[in-house]
Amino acid sequence: MDGVTKAGRGASSRPARLPGLRRALAPLPWLAPSLLLVGAVVLWPVVEMVRTSLLDISSSGTTLGGAGTSNYTDLFDEPDLWPVLGRTLLWVAGVVVAATVLSLALGQLLHARFPGRRAVRWAVIVPWAASVLMTALIWRWMLDNDSGVINRVLLDLGVLDKPVNWLAHPAQALLWMMGVAVFVTLPFTSFVILAGLQSIPDDVYEAARVDGASAWTTYFRITLPLLRPSLLIGTIVNVINVFNNFPIIWSMTQGGPGHATDITTTFTYKIAFFDKHVGESAAMAVVNFLLILLMVLLYLRAVRRPGARA
Amino acid sequence: MNKRFRVALLAGVGWLVALFFLLPYVEMLLTALKPERELTRSPGGYLPSHWQWSNFTDVWSAAPLLTNLRVSLIVAGGATALTLACALPAAYYAARNRFQGRGAFLLLVLVTQMFAPTALVIGVYREMVALNLTDTLEALILVNAAFNLPFCVWILHGSFSAVPKELEEAAFLDGAGRIGALFRVTLPVSLPGVVTAVVYTFITAWNEYIVALTVSVSDNRKPLTVAVPSFVTQYQEHWQYLFATSLIAIVPVVLLFALVERYLIGGLTAGSVK
């Protein structure tokens, strides 16, 4: 957070003349609206979630009293919990790794000079700006068993001899949904990498050329190491976003059949609003939240590294 | 490799990549222009046999679309205004002053940026029930404003810090006053940051799904994202209307997004990558 402290250093000297308490309270009018909003709508739900996970709440929403840890034992007794957690891990790792590798290539392409580059960049941001839900819906329609264009193309090419109901089989459905998640993750990731590439000074490449380094060596010895901060931040933001993804699975399979394509977010939602077991779903959300918190801590450690500018 | 060949190859690959990213939305348009009977045909056709442009006009009466559109506009506009009203003073103060708790404040901003509504939706829902705010637009405005606040504070803080203090002081000495200097000098100079914050918040709120799905009950309080999937249920399938509506929702925000694309990355990566 170097830049941050530096910016404030030369700041107004007026607060220094105020006596202790007034000085301590001086920032309050400026910060209060932000603090109130975050406190009321981000921190309150966190507390409320933890509280709910310890309450016994009937399916109609009436609080019947404390539940101790029974919501948590109920949750860990769910036969679907461990498969869902495993699938979430697979979902996050698969999508983030695929998106990162593809983005390295895509970022490089967007960085290269060619006619129409501006238009290509605009095309790439479309899935980023568009609602993820609506993008997932068009993929669901393209994968439709009867009328979907993907079956039509594969039939016309002779790859298939009869239509496949892609989203009816859990393994296939999960792979396609991971593909859609990669599709919507690529724009952000490749733009982060593009920004990283743009920050590498030309003379570094000049020096490599003078030394007679091959394109391959230049990429692995110079470009990739210098992209490290971009890759780090991009990856962590992606891990959190992909982990928290809901609309793709919700709109394409609704986590079904059964819980066969659920990840933690859709699983939590179903426990709360289908099974009407709010306490247990809050317990699931707390577990989910702890996993995210772990990632946030990793993120903070990453941005505070001496090497990373913040 | 011949330089001209290289450029041609890059352009070729580039245009193919562009096509790949656009194809799903082209299919969206083609589906939106098909007559309903063509949508149940198996296998489906590529192009509409009859280009049914009237789908785009009929859709307004097939569902209370105008209402949903208005809800989306109010929620996204309201959230953007509220976020900006909270973020502007905080970001400005933190950029211009050193005070106790400044580091803690910026850290809080950074940490909240990592929280998504999805992770907290159960807590948000319980809170809205407790506050008697379920099925209201206020709830959606509050939630969208709060979850976008960190991004706004961060990007505005970055832009304000980049404005030289001397510039502001010059205006101050010219008798503009502190607020006058802010509005006449600092804001115009940091306009790209402000516009980025505004546009990004608006689009994120416009596209928000899970909280609206949970909190909105009445049809006339549902934003577009929640209304759109109801064109295809177990009782009815109107894919042409679903995608006509989707395009109505997508096209304006894509254009807005293209406007701020170049300023976004710095803010989204919390200033860690320049």
B202 part of a folded domain: yes
B243 part of a folded domain: yes
B76 against B273, higher pLDDT: B76
Q: Is residue B132 left, alpha or beta, with left meaning phi > 0 and alpha meaning psi from -120 to 50?
A: left
pLDDT in the model for residue B1 = 61
Residues across chain B: 274
| Chain B residue with the nearest C-alpha to that of A182 | B21
Residue A202: CB atoms within 10 Å: 7
- Chain A contact for B242, CB < 8 A? yes
Report whether pLDDT(B270) > 50: no
Nearest beta carbon to residue A147 from set B44, B103, B120: B44
Q: Cβ of B209 and A299 within 8 Å?
A: no
Task: Give phi and psi for B51, each to the nearest 5.
Answer: -80, 100
SS3 content of chain B, % helix, strand, coil (to 5): 80, 0, 20
Mean pLDDT of A69-88: 92
Contacts of B150 in chain A (CB under 8 A): 38
pLDDT in the model for residue B268 = 60
pLDDT in the model for residue B244 = 94
| Chain B residue with the nearest C-alpha to that of A269 | B122
As a whole number, the mean pLDDT across chain A is: 86
For Cα atoms B237, B240, B242, give the angle at the middle one, nearest 5 degrees. Answer: 75
Of A57, A77, A75, give the one whose Cα is nearest residue A67: A57
Residue type, B183: F
Residue A224: CB atoms within 10 Å: 12
Q: How many CB pairs under 8 A join A and B?
A: 326
Mean pLDDT of A123-133: 94
Contacts of B7 in chain A (CB under 8 A): 113-115
Q: Please answer whether residues B143 and A41 qualify as being in contact, where contact means their C-beta atoms are separated by less than 8 angstroms.
A: yes
Mean pLDDT of B137-163: 90
- Longest C-alpha distance within chain A, in Å? 83
Mean pLDDT of B154-179: 82
How far from the centroid of its chain's Cα atoms is residue B179's Cα? 29
Block residue for tokens 């296939």: A172
B188 against A169, higher pLDDT: A169
Distance from CA of A253 to the nearest CA of B (A): 13
pLDDT in the model for residue B182 = 79
Q: Averaging pLDDT over each range in A204-218, A256-270, A289-303, which range is the top one?
A: A256-270
Report whether pLDDT(B72) > 60: yes
B248 against B159, higher pLDDT: B248
Q: Cβ of B269 and A3 within 8 Å?
A: no
B101 against B23, higher pLDDT: B23
Residues near B250 by beta carbon (within 8 Å), at least 6 away in sequence: A129, A130, A131, A134, B25, B28
Per the structure, the count of domains in chain B is 1
A9-68 pLDDT, tens digit per residue, is 444 445 455 567 777 788 888 999 999 999 999 999 999 999 999 988 888 778 888 878
Q: Which domain holds residue B100?
A: 63-268
pLDDT in the model for residue B154 = 85
A26 against B47, higher pLDDT: B47
Residues near B135 by beta carbon (within 8 Å), at least 6 away in sequence: B215, B216, B217, B218, B221
pLDDT in the model for residue A208 = 86
Determine the Cα–Cα distance for residues A13 and A97; give it in Å rounded to an integer.
49
Q: Cβ of B142 and A41 within 8 Å?
A: yes
Confidence class of residue A303 from pLDDT cuts 50, 70 and 90? low
Determine the Cα–Cα distance for residues B151 and B199; give it in Å rounded to an integer.
12
Contacts of B253 in chain A (CB under 8 A): 129-130
Q: Percent of chain A, pLDDT > 70?
A: 90
B207-247 pLDDT, tens digit per residue, is 999 999 999 988 889 999 999 999 998 888 899 999 999 99
Say which CATH number the domain at B109 has: 1.10.3720.10
B3 part of a folded domain: no
Report whether pLDDT(A126) > 90: yes
- Chain B contact for A274, CB < 8 A? no
Report whether pLDDT(A5) > 80: no
Instruction: Kindly report the pTM of this predicted structure.
Output: 0.87
Q: Please answer whether residues B134 and B128 qualify as being in contact, where contact means their C-beta atoms are separated by less than 8 angstroms.
A: yes
Distance from CA of A263 to the nearest CA of B (A): 12
B15-34 residues touching A, CB cutoff 8 A: 15, 17-19, 21-22, 24-25, 27-28, 31
- Regarding the domain with residue range A81-261, which homologous superfamily does it belong to in the CATH classification? MetI-like (1.10.3720.10)
Q: Would you call A301 helix, strand, or coil by DSSP?
A: helix
A217-274 pLDDT, tens digit per residue, is 888 888 998 888 888 888 888 888 899 899 999 999 999 888 999 999 999 999 999 9
pLDDT in the model for residue A232 = 82
Residues near A2 by beta carbon (within 8 Å), at least 6 away in sequence: A309, A310
Contacts of B119 in chain A (CB under 8 A): 244, 265, 285, 288-289, 292
Residue A283: CB atoms within 10 Å: 28
Q: Which sequence spans correspond to the domains of chain A? A: 81-261
B94 part of a folded domain: yes
B173 against A206, higher pLDDT: A206
Residue type, B232: V
B132 part of a folded domain: yes
